[in-house]
Amino acid sequence: MLNVDQLKNIKGKVVVCRVDFNVPLKDGAIRDDNRVRAALPTIQKLVKEGARVVLFSHLGKVKHKEAPEVVEAQKAKNNLAVVAPRLGELLGQKVAFCPETRGDAFVNAVKALKDGEVLLIQNTRYEKGEEKNDPELAKIWASVADAYVMDAFGSAHRAHASTYGIPEILKAEGKPVACGYLVEKEIANLMRCVDVKDSDRPYVAILGGLKVSDKIKVIDSLLKKCDKILIGGAMAYTFKKALGYEIGSSPVEDDQLDYARNCFKEANGRIVLPVDSVVTDAFEGWTKKEVVGDNVPAGYQGMDIGPKTAELFASEIAKAKMIFWNGPMGVFEQKDFQNGTVAICKAVAGLKGAFSVCGGGDSAAAIKEFGYKESFSHVSTGGGASLEMIENDGHLPGVDILK
């Protein structure tokens, strides 16, 4: 696989670069520009080489099967135009924005570029063919490109038109495709959690967050690689219920109970579940908050791991040589339920000489908010992508196609 340094003679050439500008928005403004910053080294390199840089990214979701007015509302909400000025500030040069993803406006905007200039194209998901990897759409986009650079690690687990279709066509035409610096760095770090060396054991995975069904395959793969899996967050209640505990009105996925039971049995003591919880009488606007043990009483729901669990998990983390963490331990967006997630951060910060990776949009936001970003060896910009890399033994479609 080529990297961006190995792309030769790109001065004056149109280099299409897939970046991940899927930034969190609040009231139409960028709430966190981490992902824009993460793409800067690659963009700066292309600019320095005198390439004509055309950036593609998705932003949020556009569900094309919905009624037209719903689709229009989703498009309005996920208009990528908001990113162009911020990118311009960070790069220190003007960034042009093309509101169209095809047609004359698109082709002319690319043609108007001079060497070293940057153009951002509207949200790729405005096109319904993007997520289907529609060959016709990929052809339109590939037709303006002399070379392709993949730097959207957060989207590398998706074989979409912009992540897979374009490089596939360019490769067939004998044009160069390469990975950017961010993708290169992510792969190098995450591969350590995939191909586990003996010197990195004990290897402890920490899983939390919301959905068991989203993370099922990764539990299976992690069981093959890890020495211990600590499970917190909402996910834990599906396991607790499967093992016969009361969970009150905690979030649960009833169709995953058999899976959770089998998984726990197969793990043979290597899955560690919470022994207590912080519970409330409602998710929002609660009036009662308590710490309970293994069972959550009726009328209450688990919002965070309890203090005993935090201690138990911290003692497991203290023994680790390598950590992979995805998913917060509680509803960390609310102040009262941050302790579990903070406890994990502190335990990781206390490790000496261990290798620690955190992947996941919310997990990464949490550790940044709590001031522990520097305590981790690597904080991945990709949640789904980092999980899928572990699931698929290091393979991601958007990376494999570059090889």
Sheet (strand 277-280) strand order? 289-292, 277-280, 301-305
170-229: contacts with ligand ADP (CB under 6 A): 208-211
The interface partner of residue 328, options being Mg ion, ligand ADP, none and the CB cut-off 5 to 8 Å by kind, is: ligand ADP
Residue tagged active-site, from 360, 361, 382, 398 = 361
Contact 208, 326 (CB under 8 A): yes
Among 179, 234, 323, 402, binds ligand ADP (CB under 6 A): 234
Name 230's bridge partners. 206, 272
Count CA atoms closer than 13 A to 18's CA, side-chain side.
31
Q: Which stretch binds Mg ion (CB under 5 A): 27-35, 264-272, 273-281, 358-366?
A: 358-366
In the range 260-319, which residues lie near ligand ADP by CB under 6 A?
Answer: 302-303
Residues 396 and 388: beta-carbon distance below 8 Å: yes
82 binds, options Mg ion, ligand ADP, none, Cβ within 5 to 8 A by partner type:
none
Phi (first) and psi of residue 272, to 5 degrees: -110, 120
Tokens of 399: 């990376």
Query: Is 50 assigned a catalytic role?
Result: no
Segment near Mg ion (CB under 5 A), from 220-228, 234-242, 337-345, 357-365? 357-365
Characterize the bridge pairing of strands 277-280 and 289-292.
antiparallel
- Contact window for Mg ion (CB under 5 A) among 143-151, 199-207, 258-266, 360-368: 360-368
Long-range contacts of range 351-356, CB-CB < 8 Å, 24 or more positions apart? 351/317, 351/318, 351/320, 351/323, 353/321, 354/320, 354/321, 354/322, 354/323, 355/192, 355/200, 355/321, 355/322, 355/323, 356/322, 356/323, 356/325
361 to 380, contacts with Mg ion by CB under 5 A? Answer: 361-362
Minimum Å gap between C-beta 13 and Mg ion is: 37
Q: Which position among 13, 18, 35, 45 bears the catalytic label?
A: 35
Sole binder of ligand ADP in the list 176, 328, 382, 398 (CB under 6 A): 328
Please, which of residues 353-392 interact with ligand ADP by CB under 6 A?
Answer: 360-363, 383
Is 167 near ligand ADP (CB under 6 A)?
Answer: no
Question: Could you tell me the sign of the dihedral formed by the alpha carbons of 250, 256, 261, 263, in that order?
Answer: negative
For 25, the token pair is 């928005």
Task: Give 177 or 317: the residue with its C-beta nearer to ligand ADP.
Answer: 317
Give the nearest distance from C-beta 344 to ligand ADP in angstroms.
12
Write down the catalytic residue from 175, 192, 211, 308. 211
Q: Which of 165, 233, 327, 384 is catalytic?
A: 384
User: Which positions lie near Mg ion, rule CB under 5 A?
Assistant: 361-362
